[in-house]
Amino acid sequence: MATGTTEYAVRRNPEMGPGGTPVLSPTEPFDAPEPELGSETMLVNVGPQHPATHGVLRLVVELDGETVVSVVPRLGYLHSSFEKLGEYRTFNQIVTLTDRMDYLAPLIYNCAYVMAVEKLMGIEVTERCKVARVICMEMDRIFSHLLWLGTWAIDVGAFTPFLYAFQQREKVYTLHEALTGARITTSATRIGGMMADLPEGWTKGVREFADNLPATLDEIDTLLTCNAIHIGRTQGIGAISAEEAVNHGLTGANLRASGVPYDVRKDRPYYDYESYDFEVPIGCHGDCYDRYLVRMEEMRQSIRILHQALDRLPGGPMDVEDPRISLPSKTDCMSDMESMIHHFKLITDGIPAPAEDCWFSVEGSKGELGMYVVGDGGPKPVRWRIRPPSFVNLSAIPKLAEGHLMADLIMINASLDIVLGEIDR
Amino acid sequence: MTADSSSGGSFSGFDLVAAGPGVAREDTGAAPAPGSVAPGNPSVTALRERFPGAVLRNEICAGDEDVVYVDPARIAEILRWLHDDPDRHYDHLADVTAVDYGGGRPLEVVYQLWSIPHRAALRVKCELPLDALEIESVTGIWAGANWLEREVYDLFGITFAGHPDLRRILMPDNYAEGHPLRKDFPLRGRFSRAEQTRRALTQDPEDYYVPGEIAERVPQVVEEAGAAAGEGEGAG
């Protein structure tokens, strides 16, 4: 071979080296020996302050290369023991705790809680109140799904759907504010009714929102549903079979994506949901992509329910006409003594509940939201328990994520649609 | 909006207000003697036939909710049968929780069952005396019971025998003040604010990163000595 050059550092290429200039040979593969790498796994800490964990969630992930070997979620960063606090409050005072759990769909929590207490006390609310609560709950289902959709799109790498979704969410914030005076912590319900009747023009605002939303959903649909990157990131990722999904206690869109048509609105109807015309979308693969499709369709179905509820919203009183439950009007309190004492008694003493227990579940935005209230004859609950859908859904994440890549774990977490305020309570 | 716009004339006295709306239902006779209620759910009758000794009594709560009290020693067997039997098929375990009524009364463990194919609900309860807070885990029947039982263990101190990973879940691993949802637990915790802060700051985060130990970590609860020391410096 050539002289004057070091054999292994640079090789002479007779064809390309005019005048014997040494050049690097790009054609010959470098025959490196297999490196002696250890097979040690690596622990990666995701969170608690990580945007892709959707809240203050910490996942301790054991990785083999880029493959997830195990996931151990660590909770409790937002724990404020609402259930304990509830035992020290009268039934109406607890309402303000409920919207702090799922701040993405506060009205559903307000409604679910008072519905459980009303069932325990045997109160039948007025027709107007029922329909108004259905409007509130369906509006907040869309509200929550829109946030999920936006953050889901960000996790998959698309920023535009996030902005489109938040434009629509802003309209719901405005409707919240018009209804209750607060944008997030609504506290809109009371035992036996609502904090106030619907403000004038509010139903028109809801109707406008319901009319405009499909156009936004269509736009996001165009951007995501057939997008190759989106499909590549989500199809076949985090799949779970129907039996396993039921066994793991999954509910809501996560369960329906696996093909189980369990929806509390259909299976245990409350507030005349059986008389509304809507479909329950189900998936067939149980993967992240199906969960996306199911939630997209759920928003469209919620719009249908919204239209029907707005059409049938009757007039009449919002609160039950029972002085043991409902407060007298402010005008009466200011003008006559009996009403003022009545108001004072109800606020200071609270409304006693019978010594029984009651379980009531509604279809929340995240899954089956159950409220278990135990009374003892007094105005405070002995035990107030929330069945948190996100908590149970998240408990399946080790099962869903193990064997997938680290990047898939982010999508699986996004597809479960969790809210940490409710998980930690 | 107003319940009583006609200047307070439609109700007759404040004793009615004080009694609350629960009285109306008791008048209709919805709460007869326990143990002899005709159940609305056929599973209760079937359960009595299948496990004659283990079903202690049954009730109907809040109008239409069937509640069965069973022997805690046989809970896993009973729930296994309710899950597997094709006529029962309670495949969805909605919730596992506990209730402390205080005053030395036994703690209740409550299972909310739902059958997706049969659309039937059943509440199964077990009473555990305060000196024997242990019950068999149902994680082998429903995988979803895992975190729910951990939460009950964390907040009530009920041990679930056979649970694969019984650690605290909402409270920190080394939380030494006890079990917050018990009635004897004060609302602000057992330790003073200063002690709580000191303990939070002296936690070692490196504890959580030991490979191989993350699955089988045991709870590091500092026992009675720590609780007594904390109370000494002024709880509440």
CATH number at residue A215: 1.10.645.10
Asked if residue B176 and residue B152 are part of one domain, the reply reads: no
Write down which residue in B114, B144, B169 finishes a domain.
B169
Asked if residue B221 and residue B114 are part of one domain, the reply reads: no
pLDDT band at B87 (very low <50, low <70, confident <90, very high): confident
Closest CA to A123 of A319, A317, A371, A275: A319
Does B51 reside within a domain?
yes
Q: How far apart are CA A393 and CA A295, in angstroms?
A: 15
Does A158 reside within a domain?
yes
Nearest to A354 among B22, B92, B172 (CB): B22
- Asked if B5's CB is within 8 angstroms of A83's CB, the reply is no
Q: How far apart are CA B66 and CA A416, in angstroms?
A: 32
> What's the burial of B62, exposed, middle or buried (CB within 10 Å: 0-12/13-18/19+)?
buried
Residues 6+ apart with CB under 8 A from A128: A313, A314, A315, A316, A317, A318
Q: Are A108 and A369 in contact (CB under 8 A)?
A: yes
Does A411 reside within a domain?
yes
**Contact A388/B at CB under 8 A:** no
Asked if residue B158 and residue B52 are part of one domain, the reply reads: yes
Asked if residue B197 and residue B148 are part of one domain, the reply reads: no
Does A46 reside within a domain?
no
Q: Which tokens sit at B40?
A: 């609305």
Supply the pLDDT for residue A1.
44
Residue with tokens 């680290």: A406
Asked if residue B179 and residue B152 are part of one domain, the reply reads: no
Distance in Å, alpha carbon of A374 to nearest chain B alpha carbon: 8
Q: Given the DSSP bridges, would you call strands B134-136 and B159-161 parallel, antiparallel or unpaired?
A: parallel
- Asked if B4's CB is within 8 angstroms of A328's CB, the reply is yes
Asked if residue B51 and residue B146 are part of one domain, the reply reads: yes
Residues 6+ apart with CB under 8 A from A54: A151, A413, A414, A418, A419, A420
Q: How far apart are CA B90 and CA B115, in angstroms?
A: 4
For the beta sheet containing B55-61, the strands, ordered from the edge strand earlier in sequence to the opposite edge, are B55-61, B65-70, B120-128, B107-115, B92-99
Asked if residue B144 and residue B50 are part of one domain, the reply reads: yes
Task: List the domain range (segments joined by +) for residue A258.
Answer: 84-321+351-424
Number of domains in chain B: 2
Q: How far apart are CA A80 and CA A424, in angstroms?
A: 7
CA-nearest residue to A79 within chain B is B170
Does B43 reside within a domain?
yes
Does A134 reside within a domain?
yes
- Asked if B147's CB is within 8 angstroms of A387's CB, the reply is no
SS3 state of residue A275:
helix
Q: Which tokens sit at A131?
A: 């329909």
Does B11 reside within a domain?
no
Q: Are B61 and A358 in contact (CB under 8 A)?
A: yes
Residues 71-110 (A) with a CB less than 8 A from some CB of B? 72, 74-76, 79, 81, 83-85, 88
Does A210 reside within a domain?
yes
Task: Please give chain A's pLDDT, 425 residues, in tens.
Answer: 444 444 444 444 444 445 554 444 445 555 666 666 666 778 888 878 777 777 788 888 888 888 888 888 888 888 888 999 999 999 999 999 998 888 889 999 999 999 999 999 888 999 999 999 999 999 999 999 999 999 999 988 888 999 999 999 999 999 999 999 999 899 999 998 898 889 999 999 999 999 999 999 999 999 888 888 888 888 888 889 999 999 999 999 999 999 899 999 988 899 989 899 999 998 888 889 999 999 999 999 999 999 999 999 998 888 888 888 888 888 888 999 988 998 898 888 888 888 889 999 999 999 999 999 999 888 999 999 999 999 999 999 998 988 889 889 999 999 998 888 889 88
Residue B209 has pLDDT above 60, yes or no: no
Asked if residue B227 and residue B139 are part of one domain, the reply reads: no
Nearest to A122 among B63, B100, B180 (CB): B63
Q: Which residues of A touch B116 (CB under 8 A)?
A: 246, 260, 262, 267
Q: Which tokens sit at A211?
A: 């009319």
Write down which residue in B153, B169, B185 finishes a domain.
B169
Does A70 reside within a domain?
no
Does B113 reside within a domain?
yes
Supply the pLDDT for residue A94.
92
Asked if residue B79 and residue B191 are part of one domain, the reply reads: no
CA-nearest residue to A353 within chain B is B22
Output B200 or B90, whichever has higher pLDDT: B90
Q: Are B99 and A383 in contact (CB under 8 A)?
A: yes
What 8-state DSSP symbol labels residue B65? E
Single-letter amino acid code for the residue at B159: T
- Asked if A197's CB is within 8 angstroms of B21's CB, the reply is no
Task: List the domain range (segments joined by +) for residue B202.
Answer: 171-236
Output B10 or A162, whichever has higher pLDDT: A162
**Contact A342/B at CB under 8 A:** yes
Residue-wise pLDDT tens digits, B171-196: 887 788 889 999 888 888 888 889 88
Nearest to B7 among A84, A332, A357 (CB): A332
Write down which residue in B116, B136, B169 finishes a domain.
B169
Distance in Å, alpha carbon of B225 to nearest chain A alpha carbon: 25
Does A186 reside within a domain?
yes
Q: How far apart are CA A247 and CA A240, in angstroms?
A: 11
Supply the pLDDT for residue B36.
53
CB count in 10 Å sphere of residue B201: 7
**Contact A193/B at CB under 8 A:** yes
Closest CA to A118 of A313, A254, A270, A12: A270
CA-nearest residue to B212 within chain A is A62
Closest CA to B135 of B117, B108, B113, B114: B108
Closest CA to A381 of A83, A79, A80: A83
Asked if residue B106 and residue B42 are part of one domain, the reply reads: yes
Q: Given the DSSP bridges, would you call strands B65-70 and B120-128 parallel, antiparallel or unpaired?
A: parallel
Q: How far apart are CA A288 and CA A405, in angstroms?
A: 14
Q: What are phi and psi of B184, to 5 degrees?
A: -85, 5
Residue with tokens 């479960």: A416
Asked if residue B217 and residue B100 are part of one domain, the reply reads: no
Nearest to A329 among B1, B145, B209 (CB): B1
Q: Are B43 and B88 in contact (CB under 8 A)?
A: yes
Residue B4 has pLDDT above 50, yes or no: no
Asked if residue B227 and residue B123 are part of one domain, the reply reads: no
For chain B, give me the number of helices (H) and strands (E)? 7, 7
| Cα pseudo-dihedral A18, A20, A26, A28, rounded to 10 | 130
Residue B5 has pLDDT above 60, yes or no: no
**Average pLDDT in chain B:** 76
Q: What is the ipTM of this complex?
A: 0.83
- Provide the CATH number for the domain around residue B106: 3.30.460.80
CA-nearest residue to A379 within chain B is B20
Q: How far apart are CA A388 and CA A423, in angstroms?
A: 6
Residue B204's alpha-carbon distances to A35, B168, B193, B200, in angstroms, are 36, 17, 20, 9
Does B215 reside within a domain?
yes
Number of domains in chain A: 1
Phi-psi region of A286 (alpha: psi -120 to 50; beta: other; left: phi over 0): left
Supply the pLDDT for residue A45.
83
Q: Which residues of B touch A394 (CB under 8 A)?
A: 147
Q: Are A354 and A120 in contact (CB under 8 A)?
A: yes
Does B13 reside within a domain?
no
